[in-house]
Amino acid sequence: MRRFQTNHIPDDARGAAVAIGNFDGVHLGHQDLIDMARAQATKTNAPLGILTFEPHPRSFFAAKFNKELPPFRLMSAEARAHRLEKLGVDLILELPFNQDLCDLSDWEFSRQILSKAFGLSHVVVGADFCFGKGRLGTAASLSAHASNLGFDVTIADLKNHDAQVISSTNIRNALAAANPRRAAAMLGHWHRLEGPVEHGEKRGRQLGYPTANMSIDGLQPPAFGVYAVLIDVLTGTHAGSYHGAASIGVRPMFGKNRPNCETFIFDFRGNLYGETVSVGLVEYLRGEEEFGGLEALITQMDADCIRAHKILDSL
């Protein structure tokens, strides 16, 4: 897979069939778009691509108008790229989202970016797709522009789950409501937190529960609390898949702290500092609590791990 963070690509990357969107979470609706683009790519022997935007447009406009924006992304650009690679995407076109891009009308975006810069052969968008200055362009206007510019367009219907549209917003709501299984039903995979393992205060080691600590800065945190989790160590000598329990939150027993994810990996011995790990949330066990002392905390952690073992062994 090749990843381009520019609007200039080599000749051998042109002519792709692409799906366009933010792809935050790479949920089942996104996967439908990718599958439609894949069908066109296979038919014409073209590369399969994704056209997305970085930074996320919401972040750009918040910064432009000096608005405080709570973290909302489900995944980083790097985690998104890893997920798209698993789906067999050949090209990721991460178009820099800046003022120049915002000022392009929907026609100019179609002409300058889709046709001229990337030379796309086929574009797949959702029925609710909006683009161009003032978001005045629609899926229908894109199709009209494409007929004049020499590429084809497929417009995909929105996908539902339990009579609710599958969207990044509804997935965020499920995670905020401590329902990772509902989020997974819309994602088509466990919601994952991915990043490098950082040094912490090593308090877990002193309690008999050494943890792999990960920052969640920039991501919308799920409901704070303890989860049964599936862990993939993606780099290093310990690369592999494991079971565990993770605490996500601010650790109220130990003062005021930035939210993070601390994962205890069952039956694991080794050093993971600096390695990239992916933590999949399977089931919410309980909320964050303050205990009367460390002994009570350890007793609860013992119970959490027993429960997590049972849940994960049943998958």
Active site residues: 262
Tokens of 28: 């089942």
> ∠76-33-39 over CA atoms, to 5°?
125
Return the ∠ at Cα 172 (arms to 159 and 21), rounded to 5°: 50
Distance CA 301, CA 308 (A): 10
User: How many angstroms separate the CA atoms of 208 and 294, rounded?
Assistant: 11
Distance CA 112, CA 90 (A): 22
Compute the distance between CA of residue 36 and CA of residue 123 in angstroms, rounded to an integer. Answer: 9
Please enumerate in sequence order all residues whose Cβ is within 8 A of that of 39, keeping only pairs 6 or more positions apart, or say none: none
The token pair at 244 is 């565990």
* Beta strands at 260-265 and 240-249: parallel, antiparallel or unpaired: antiparallel
- CA distance linking residue 273 with residue 151, whole number of Å: 47
Cα 200 from Cα 28, distance rounded (Å) = 35
Neighbours of 110 (CB within 10 A): 27
